[in-house]
């Protein structure tokens, strides 16, 4: 593990990975064997981020506002965590963790106390991204959390050479109440296990099979911890 105070580097014989303190964002995945960059390079003319963390909201609020306990608050798209400085915690040769706590400024637009910890672990060719949310208060904590990674297409290929495959079973009713999982549209799961279609880069919209995504719902925590992980 290497660090310069703002950027942490995890490295082995397969991959070189960097994680920024700003937003606890994964900023680079370099494949040593293939000699290429895997993660999107944050070209500002297209999209100036790599893999932002979405907290405490996923998506945009209508007109940039939401209501809680009859009080209206403003909220930026995908929440504020991606634009804040995280506190470094454990950092060693193959794993690093960051933490974000509520502040007076966050409380003005998000009236909850919280602790968010984000970890990255490098094992061979696998990168594990881990999220932990702790409620330090006696009041309920309502939040959403998500990841938004983007990847580079290898030279000579296009996005149309790939298919997005996912677990056809999805999450069944009554399961994963404390975890963040996509939900199947019914008890039988999905009819298909792939997403295909034409992506028009001019309008920025991707085609999705009906039922693939449901309306995001906030997770409610009493004084406890919620955690989940994803693999790249």
pLDDT one-digit tens code per residue, 106-151: 999 999 999 999 999 999 999 999 999 999 998 889 888 889 999 9
Q: Please tell me the predicted confidence (pLDDT) of residue 174.
A: 42
Using CB atoms within 10 Å of the CB of residue 17, give its burial: 0 to 12 exposed, 13 to 18 middle, 19+ buried: buried
**Mean pLDDT taken over the chain:** 78
Q: Please tell me the predicted confidence (pLDDT) of residue 93.
A: 80
Residue whose C-alpha is closest to residue 11's, from 154, 140, 127:
127
| Range of weakest confidence among 3-12, 76-85, 168-177 | 168-177
CA 158 to chain centre: 24
Q: Please tell me the predicted confidence (pLDDT) of residue 115.
A: 95
Please state, in angstroms and rounded to a whole number, the distance separating the CA atoms of residues 116 and 133: 5
The residue that leads in pLDDT, 93 or 69, is 69
Q: Please tell me the predicted confidence (pLDDT) of residue 154.
A: 86
Q: Could you tell me what percent of the chain has a pLDDT over 90?
A: 49
pTM attached to this predicted model: 0.76
pLDDT exceeds cutoff 90 at 11: yes
Q: What is the arithmetic mean of pLDDT over 39-65?
A: 92
pLDDT exceeds cutoff 50 at 178: no
Q: Please tell me the predicted confidence (pLDDT) of residue 166.
A: 54
Please state, in angstroms and rounded to a whole number, the distance separating the CA atoms of residues 66 and 87: 28
Q: Please tell me the predicted confidence (pLDDT) of residue 159.
A: 77
Please state, in angstroms and rounded to a whole number, the distance separating the CA atoms of residues 225 and 218: 15
Supply φ then ψ for residue 87, to 5 degrees: -90, 125
Cross-strand bridge partners of residue 227: 132
Q: Terminus-to-terminus CA distance in the chain, angstroms?
A: 19
Could you say which of 2.70.98.10, 3.40.50.80, 3.40.50.10260, 3.50.50.60 is the CATH number of the domain covering 2-231?
2.70.98.10
Q: Please tell me the predicted confidence (pLDDT) of residue 176.
A: 41
pLDDT exceeds cutoff 90 at 177: no
Residue whose C-alpha is closest to residue 155's, from 38, 47, 29, 45:
38
Cross-strand bridge partners of residue 123: 126
To the nearest 5 percent, what fractions of the chain are helix, strand and coil? Answer: 5, 40, 55
| Range of weakest confidence among 47-56, 157-166, 193-202, 219-228 | 193-202
């Amino acid at each position: 593990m290497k660090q310069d105070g703002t950027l942490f580097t995890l490295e082995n014989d397969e991959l070189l990975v960097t994680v920024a303190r700003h937003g606890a964002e994964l900023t680079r995945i370099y494949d040593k064997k293939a000699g290429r960059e895997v993660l999107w390079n944050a070209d500002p003319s297209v999209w100036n981020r790599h893999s932002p963390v979405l907290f405490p909201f996923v998506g945009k609020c209508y007109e940039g506002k939401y209501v809680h306990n009859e009080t209206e608050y403003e909220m930026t798209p995908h929440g504020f965590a991606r634009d804040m400085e995280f506190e470094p915690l454990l950092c060693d040769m193959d794993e690093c963790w960051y933490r974000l706590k509520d502040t007076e400024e966050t409380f003005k637009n998000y009236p909850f106390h919280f602790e968010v910890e984000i970890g990255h672990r490098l094992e061979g060719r696998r990168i594990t991204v881990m999220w932990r949310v702790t409620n330090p208060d006696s009041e309920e904590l309502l939040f959403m959390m998500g990841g938004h990674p983007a990847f580079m297409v290898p030279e000579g290929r296009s996005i149309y050479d790939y298919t997005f495959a996912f677990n056809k079973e999805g999450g069944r009713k009554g399961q994963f109440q404390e975890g963040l999982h996509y939900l199947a549209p019914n008890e039988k799961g999905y009819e298909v296990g792939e997403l295909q279609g034409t992506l028009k880069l001019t309008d920025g919209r991707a085609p999705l099979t009906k039922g693939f995504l449901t309306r995001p719902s906030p997770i409610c925590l009493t004084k406890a911890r919620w955690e989940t992980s994803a693999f790249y």
